[in-house]
């Protein structure tokens, strides 16, 4: 497998700051309280944060003291914290861009990788070289290594980005209505032809038995912008995630000449009427909502909770509420050697330059909070709630009090996800073990299946930075326009070669990818630089 292509997902990484002074340790005296020497409390600061993650759909923070995380942060660090939050994506970045354009940059904000490059280039973000050190935020560096962070700077030796801690393991999978397969007497598909047939039957065969042709085989969320990688046509044409490294050269999957085959096959499914016609305009999690409502029979998800009984808001539980026979199962529907990749960083934590210049104490305080969030105390509070009420702790074992956790957190929309945006749900990183009685044998079997799907190690050896003056976000925007033009306007992939050539020349694609290859080779120092054709 190692001789196959190494995969990657275009990533840019995050910017956070902290001061020369060491932040509060999780076991030490809290900032905002008198210390052992009787020093006075630091002045109360108003902090404005903007947070985004894939897991904030339909989330509303509770009011008052019910938001015990906000209360703990404000009391512990002597701050007034205002926190905005949305699902990460175009809508979030549009709102963030409007805020930035109005001159009201949040003190700390999360952004996507491509967006972070533009914010740095535009001078909106702070240079965190003197702040973002292993000595200053040691808890943070339990989640990412200094080598990883150093490797993903726009310029080596200049600290402008960090990494938003991310879940290493990948739970990528397509999920299918097994009960629909059973109802129609179908077997789980193992190749593209079988999959097309199954989705056709889901659309035309009345799988829910309501006597109406009101279901579709598949749905996704294009957000009015993109042809998402959820479509199995990408993998069916040999493309896993955004890019591959082949013979030490960068190959951009979404602008390869063979993308013509992807476009043709998506058009075929659209013409056959087996894809939810709203897929392009759907904004996540609209396609999950439709799946839960029994309107579609297959979706793609990176969320390990999608088909779990133990997650109150999973697609599985929401589907069963309407149809007790609903049974979502993970599938690997194509005869390809690799389904996905292990995760790589995809989001960044950024600090406003205005904040750093005018109120550096806000940077210090924000970084102290970040260090706490990534330490044991903050991690437990933001993932499992309050000790003694939502969980008990014995040594390194954390036992969830399911009844209280469900009542206060899970059934309230999993609102802790707002604060958990800074740490993935991987307690093992901190040497902890979670005991959750909700995890049934059914759920363990599903997780084992998803974890077994073959994946590549996707982390590239260096940060991939476009040539000076070229923004990868602008290039991707034009690329997506051409994908959608081919699928929805041309209804054919025949014009892709000329669209691609325009991307490679007018929009500097060839310059970008050749530069990426040079950066890869500067580290690997092996073989020659391959030309892009």
Q: Which residues pair with 48 in a beta bridge?
A: 82
- Pair (281, 376) in one structural domain: no
Q: Three-state secondary structure along 492-521?
A: CCCCHHHHHHHHHHCCCHHHHHHHHHHHHH
Domain boundary among 412, 431, 450: 431
We report the CATH number of the domain holding residue 241 as: 3.40.190.10
Number of domains in the chain: 2
Residue 302 belongs to some domain of the structure: yes
SS3 content of the chain, % helix, strand, coil (to 5): 40, 15, 45
* Backbone φ, ψ for residue 492 (5° rounding): -170, 155
Residue 11 within any structural domain of the chain:
no
Q: Which two tokens stand for residue 361?
A: 């104490």
Residue 187 lies in a domain: yes
| Same-domain status, 321 and 385 | no
Domain for residue 13, yes or no?
A: no
60 Cβ contact list (under 8 Å, min separation 6): 413, 415
183 and 229 assigned to the same domain? yes
Tens-binned pLDDT, residue by residue, of the chain (533 aa): 333 333 333 333 333 333 333 333 333 333 444 444 455 678 999 999 999 998 898 899 999 889 999 999 999 999 999 999 999 988 999 999 999 999 899 999 999 887 888 898 889 999 877 788 888 899 999 999 887 887 777 776 778 888 899 988 889 999 999 999 999 999 999 999 999 999 999 999 999 999 999 999 999 999 999 999 999 999 999 998 888 777 778 889 999 999 999 999 999 999 999 999 999 999 999 999 999 999 999 999 999 999 999 888 899 999 999 999 999 999 999 999 999 988 878 788 899 999 999 999 999 999 999 999 999 999 999 999 999 999 999 999 999 999 999 999 988 989 999 999 999 999 999 999 999 998 999 999 999 999 999 998 766 655 677 888 888 889 999 999 999 999 999 999 999 999 999 999 999 999 999 998 888 777 665 334 333 33
389 with 513, same domain: the answer is no
State whether residue 352 is helix, strand or coil: strand
Q: Round to whole Å and give the CA distance between 230 and 303.
A: 13
Q: Tell whether 243 and 125 lie within a shared domain.
A: no
- Claim to verify: residue 383 and residue 239 sit in the same structural domain: no
In a domain, residue 2? The reply is: no
Q: 70: Cβ–Cβ under 8 A, 6 or more apart, which residues?
A: 61, 81, 83
Kindly state whether residues 274 and 329 are assigned to the same domain. Answer: yes
With both helix axes pointing from N to C terminus, report the angle between 90-101 and 113-121 in degrees, rounded to the nearest 10: 10
Question: Are 336 and 355 in a shared domain?
Answer: no
- Domain hosting 504: range is 173-340+459-523
The answer to whether the pTM exceeds 0.85 is no
In a domain, 444, yes or no: no
Give CA 182 to chain center in angstroms.
Answer: 33
In a shared domain, residues 307 and 205: yes
201 and 90: one domain?
A: no
The strand ranges marked E within 247-315 are 249-252, 298-301
The answer, yes or no, to whether the previous bond of 285 is cis (omega within 30 of 0) is yes
Is 1 a domain residue? no
pLDDT given for residue 254 in this prediction? 97
Last residue of a domain, one of 414, 431, 448: 431
Same domain, 324 and 463: yes
């Amino acid at each position: 497998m190692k001789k196959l292509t190494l995969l990657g997902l275009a990533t840019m990484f995050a910017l956070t700051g902290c001061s020369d002074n060491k932040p509060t340790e999780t076991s030490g005296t809290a900032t905002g309280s008198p210390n052992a020497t009787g020093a006075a409390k630091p002045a109360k600061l108003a902090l404005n944060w903007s947070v985004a993650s894939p897991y904030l759909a339909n989330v509303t923070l509770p009011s008052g003291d019910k938001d015990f995380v906000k209360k703990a942060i404000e009391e512990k660090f002597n701050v007034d914290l205002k926190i905005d939050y949305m699902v990460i994506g175009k809508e979030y970045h549009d709102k963030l861009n409007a805020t930035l354009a109005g001159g009201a940059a949040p003190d700390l904000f999360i952004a996507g990788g491509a967006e972070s490059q533009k914010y740095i280039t535009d001078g909106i973000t702070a240079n965190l070289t003197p702040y973002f050190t292993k000595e200053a935020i040691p808890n943070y560096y339990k989640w990412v290594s200094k080598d990883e962070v150093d490797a993903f700077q726009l310029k080596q030796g200049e600290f402008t980005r960090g990494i938003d801690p991310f879940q290493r393991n990948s739970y990528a999978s397509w999920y299918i209505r097994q009960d629909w397969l059973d109802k129609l007497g179908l077997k789980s598909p193992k190749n593209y032809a079988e999959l097309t047939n199954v989705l056709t039957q889901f659309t035309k065969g009345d799988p829910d038995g309501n006597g109406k042709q009101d279901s579709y085989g598949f749905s996704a969320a294009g957000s009015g912008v993109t042809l998402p990688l959820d479509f199995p046509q990408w993998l069916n044409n040999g493309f896993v995630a955004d890019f591959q490294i082949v013979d030490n050269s960068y190959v951009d999957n979404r602008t390869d000449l063979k993308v013509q085959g992807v476009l043709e096959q998506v058009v075929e499914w659209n013409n056959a009427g087996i894809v939810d016609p709203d897929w392009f305009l759907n904004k996540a999690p609209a396609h999950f909502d439709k799946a839960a409502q029994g309107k579609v029979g297959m979706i793609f998800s990176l969320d390990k909770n999608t088909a779990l009984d133990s997650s109150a808001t999973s697609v599985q539980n929401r589907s069963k509420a309407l149809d007790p026979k609903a049974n979502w199962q993970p599938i690997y529907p194509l005869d390809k050697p690799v389904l996905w990749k292990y995760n790589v960083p995809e989001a960044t934590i950024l600090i406003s330059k205005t904040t750093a210049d005018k109120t550096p104490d806000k940077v210090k305080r924000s970084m102290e909070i970040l260090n706490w969030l990534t330490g044991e105390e903050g991690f437990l509070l933001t993932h499992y709630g309050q000790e003694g009420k939502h969980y008990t702790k014995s040594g390194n074992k954390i036992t969830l009090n399911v009844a209280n956790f469900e009542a206060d957190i899970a059934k309230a929309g999993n609102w802790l996800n707002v604060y958990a945006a800074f740490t993935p749900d991987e307690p093992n990183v901190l040497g902890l073990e979670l005991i959750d009685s909700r995890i049934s044998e059914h759920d363990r079997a599903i997780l084992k299946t998803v974890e077994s799907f073959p994946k590549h190690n996707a982390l590239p050896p260096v940060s991939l930075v476009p040539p000076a003056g070229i923004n990868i976000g602008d290039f991707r925007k034009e690329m997506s326009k051409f994908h959608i033009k081919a699928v929805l306007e041309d209804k054919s992939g025949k014009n892709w070669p000329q669209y691609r050539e325009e991307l490679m020349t007018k929009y500097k694609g060839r310059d970008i990818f050749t530069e990426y290859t040079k950066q890869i080779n500067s580290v690997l120092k092996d073989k020659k630089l391959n030309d892009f054709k």
